[in-house]
Structure 1
């Protein structure tokens, strides 16, 4: 059994998990394995296949983890040879034969880059502190089961962004993005800290009182932990990943600069 770390830009994909009639990251990975003859035409997945998480449409990952019974020659660089450039394997690890990438993860960390130049760091920290610990997050997910989770939170300021980091053993659907939405309301002064108490109460919230998820694009799956599993970085694969995503960073910076210019419409009266 071998586990692989995979980074991807989630923008072009309808989430990680396979779906009919749309392009997903998982479909892309399985197509690559089929092209490499690791997966037969009549097989859905390789033996033992599982993934750490099911990121939503638009959500990216730095440390998505997949594992399956792989041939010795299938390095991250070899896997990348059949993957599109926006999906890059960059490390691998030998794992026990009964390893399961979903069930054996002891923690998952998501990082949200909230654009909030005028928001209060103090209020954001207070909101995150109130959300930390074990709670029933039934008002922050469409799930009906598995809503009790133990959440760890961190906050940093990076220029105009509040960097919100949430860690748990597992997450209910949309829990991260809805938690960020609550933090954003409080940090921007649109709600008081009592909002957290209301959200965590037994009363079901709906309509205007409910919490809609924050946009998916600023969210990244940044870490998944497995006790006793040590990942080795494939230097060639990691270099390829850095090159690809640094180039995308340059492209986005160019677009942002052009948008800055266009946003000045009406300022020049000459």
Structure 2
């Protein structure tokens, strides 16, 4: 068995998990393995396969982790030879035959960059302090699971320009938990909701629909780590360089788009004032 660290830009994909008729990160992985001759076709699932988590549409990753049985020659560099540029393998590790990338992860970590102009960093920190620790997060998820208690081992937020930047590590994350948590903290930090809203949300009594906390945008959410005690991932120098090259280009493209959109906004706003 071998485990791989995978980085990807989630914007072109309908989430991580394979689905019929839409592009997903998992489909890209299986298509690459078929192209390398490790699978007979992309509809197969590699023997022993599992992934650290199922990120939603638009969510990106630094350290998504997948593991499966494969030939010794499959290095991150070889994997990247068949993967699309949006998806890059950059480290790998030999793991026991009974290794499971989902169940053996003792924690996962996310970083979330959420646009929040005018946010008060002190209010954001106060709200986050109440959310840290072990709570029933039933009011901050869309899951139908009975067990909605999770422990936020690390939960910090800071203001960086117009963005609230969250660093979160937990024993497990519920569906949409990070995005709804971010939405709640932003509402408190911008004055759209009182700090007391946090206590009400953490109460296991279900919130009525009009008081519910919607998920914020997935665009700034990144899976940055999945922890496996006893497993040491070896960085592949060429794989790391490939990540740098691909994502540096993407960052430059995004910065250019942002400037173009800013030009449109400023020009139209100026024309409105002049007219």
TM-score, normalization by structure 1: 0.97
2:208 to 203, 206, 214: 206
2:207 is the counterpart of 1:178: no
1:116-155 to 2 correspondences below 5 Å: 116-145=116-145, 146-151=147-152, 152-155=154-157
Q: Does 1:6 align with 2:9?
A: no
Correspondence for 1:81:
81
For residue 138 of structure 1, report the CA deviation from its aligned partner: 0.6
Aligned to 1:72: 72
Q: Deviations over 1:89-141 (max 9, x none)?
A: 01101111211000000110111101123101101111111011111111111
* CA spacing shift, 1:220–1:72, aligned 2, 3 Å: same
In 1, Cα distance between equivalents of 2:2 and 2:224: 20
Residue 142 of structure 1 and its aligned partner are, at CA, apart by 1.8
Which residue of structure 2 aligns with residue 267 of structure 1? Answer: 270
For residues 150-169 of structure 1, the aligned pairs below 5 Å read: 150-151=151-152, 152-169=154-171
Distance in 2 (CA, whole Å) between partners of 1:232 and 1:254 is 34
What TM-score do you get using the length of structure 2 for normalisation? 0.95
| 1:124-172 per-position Cα deviation (integer Å, ceiling 9, x unaligned) | 1111110111111111112232311001301233222211111111111
Q: CA deviation at 1:43?
A: 6.3
Q: Report the 3-state secondary structure (helix = DSSP H, G, I; strand = E; otherwise coil) of the residue aligned with 2:270.
A: coil
Alpha carbons of structure 1 residues 19 and 206: separation in structure 2 relative to 1, 3 Å: farther
Alpha carbons 2:27, 2:42 under 8 Å: kept: no
2:233 is the alignment partner of 1:196: no
Counterpart in the other structure of 2:95: 95
CA RMSD of aligned residues (A): 1.4
What is the rounded CA distance, in whole Å, between the counterparts of 1:46 and 1:206 in structure 2? 44
* Cα distance in 2, alignment partners of residues 216 and 136 from structure 1: 22
Deviations 1:166-185 (A, max 9, x none): 11111111111111110010
Match of 1:33 in 2: 33
1:59 and 1:69 map into 2 onto residues whose CA distance is 27
Distance 1:162 1:197 in 2: 21
Post-superposition shift, 1:202? 2.2
How do 1:217-228 and structure 2 match up within 5 A? 217-228=219-230
Partner-residue secondary structure (3-state), 1:263: helix
Runs of 4+, deviation exceeding 4 Å: none
Query: 1:193, CA displacement in angstroms?
Result: 1.1
Task: Tell me by how many angstroms 1:42 deviates.
Answer: 8.2
Distance 2:50 2:6 in 1: 13
Distance in 1, matches of 2:160 and 2:104, equals 33
Gaps spanning 5+ residues in structure 1: where?
Answer: none
Distance 1:120 1:42, change over 3 A: closer
CA-CA distance at 1:61 after TM superposition: 0.5
Partner residue in 2 for 1:246? 248
5+ residue gaps, structure 2, are: none
Alpha-carbon distance in 1 for matches of 2:15, 2:5: 17
Q: Does 1:60 align with 2:63?
A: no
